[in-house]
Amino acid sequence: MPECLVFRVPAQHPADVSGVMDLVTSGTVGAPEIVAIFGKTEGNGCVNDFTRQLAVMALETALATALGCTPAEAGARIALVMSGGTEGGLSPHFLILARREGPAAPERKALAIGTAFTHAFRPEEIGRMSQVEATAAAVGRAMAEAGLTDPADVHLVQVKCPLLTSARIADAAARGHGVATHDTYASMGLSRGASALGIALALGEVDREQLTDPAIGTRRDLFSGRASASAGIELMRNEIIVLGNAPGWTGPLAIAHRVMDDGIDLPAILGVLSDLGFPEAGPLSRQESERVIALLVKAEPSHDGLIRGRRHIMNDDSDINATRHARALVGGVAAAAIGRTDLFVSGGAEHQGPDGGGPVAVIARVRD
CA–CA gap between residue 323 and residue 46 (Å, rounded) = 9
- pLDDT at 46 (0 to 100): 87
Among 40, 160, 228, 298, the active-site one is 160
Instruction: Find the CATH number of the domain harbouring 220.
Output: 3.30.1330.180
Q: Report whether 159 contacts 229 (CB < 8 A).
A: yes
Please check if 52 is assigned to a binding site: yes
- pLDDT at 108 (0 to 100): 85
| Domain end call among 220, 243, 266 | 243
- pLDDT at 348 (0 to 100): 92
Please check if 318 is assigned to a binding site: no
Please check if 130 is assigned to a binding site: no
Whether 165 is in a domain gets the answer yes
230 belongs to the catalytic site? yes
Model confidence pLDDT, tens digit, residues 304-334: 999 999 999 999 999 999 999 999 999 999 9
Give 67-112 as a 3 state SS string. Answer: HCCCHHHHHHHCEEEEEECCCCCCCCEEEEEEEEECCCCCCCCEEE
Whether 248 is in a domain gets the answer no
> Same domain, yes or no, for 95 and 119?
no
Whether 163 is in a domain gets the answer yes
> Same domain, yes or no, for 133 and 235?
yes
- pLDDT at 237 (0 to 100): 96
Which residues sit opposite 228 in a β-bridge? 158
Domain enclosing residue 328, as ranges: 253-365
Per-residue tens of pLDDT for the chain, all 368 residues: 999 999 999 999 999 999 999 999 999 999 999 999 999 999 998 888 899 999 999 999 999 999 999 999 999 999 999 999 999 999 999 999 999 987 776 778 999 999 999 999 999 999 999 999 999 999 999 999 999 999 999 999 999 999 999 999 999 999 999 999 999 999 999 999 999 999 999 999 999 999 999 999 999 999 999 999 999 988 999 999 999 999 999 999 999 999 999 999 999 999 999 999 998 777 898 889 999 999 999 999 999 999 999 999 999 999 999 999 999 999 999 999 999 999 999 999 999 999 999 999 999 999 77
Give 298-341 as a 3 state SS string. Answer: EECCCCCCEECCEECCCCCCCCCCHHHHHHHHHHHHHHHHHCCC
Whether 114 is in a domain gets the answer yes
Structure pTM? 0.95
Helices (H) and strands (E) in the chain, counts: 9, 14
> Same domain, yes or no, for 150 and 190?
yes
Please check if 256 is assigned to a binding site: no
> Same domain, yes or no, for 292 and 358?
yes
Whether 329 is in a domain gets the answer yes
| Domain end call among 216, 243, 270 | 243
> Same domain, yes or no, for 124 and 221?
yes
- pLDDT at 282 (0 to 100): 76
CA torsion angle for 125, 126, 128, 131 (degrees, to 10)?
80
Please check if 274 is assigned to a binding site: no
CA–CA gap between residue 11 and residue 274 (Å, rounded) = 30
- pLDDT at 207 (0 to 100): 97
Please check if 357 is assigned to a binding site: yes
Model confidence pLDDT, tens digit, residues 182-200: 999 999 999 999 999 999 9
Q: Considering only CA atoms, which of 208, 214, 4 is closest in space to residue 95?
A: 4
> Same domain, yes or no, for 265 and 239?
no
Instruction: Find the CATH number of the domain harbouring 88.
Output: 3.30.1330.170
Domain count, the chain: 3
Please check if 166 is assigned to a binding site: no
> Same domain, yes or no, for 263 and 353?
yes
Cβ-based neighbours of 270, under 8 Å, separated by 6 or more: 280, 281, 282, 337
Q: How many residues does the chain have?
A: 368
> Same domain, yes or no, for 94 and 119?
no
Phi-psi region of 127 (alpha: psi -120 to 50; beta: other; left: phi over 0): left
Model confidence pLDDT, tens digit, residues 256-307: 999 999 999 999 999 999 999 998 777 898 889 999 999 999 999 999 999 9
CA–CA gap between residue 52 and residue 19 (Å, rounded) = 17
Please check if 346 is assigned to a binding site: yes
* Residue 64 neighbours by CB distance under 10 Å: 18
Q: Considering only CA atoms, which of 345, 319, 322 is closest in space to residue 332?
A: 345
> Same domain, yes or no, for 45 and 150?
no
Among 187, 224, 230, 302, the active-site one is 230
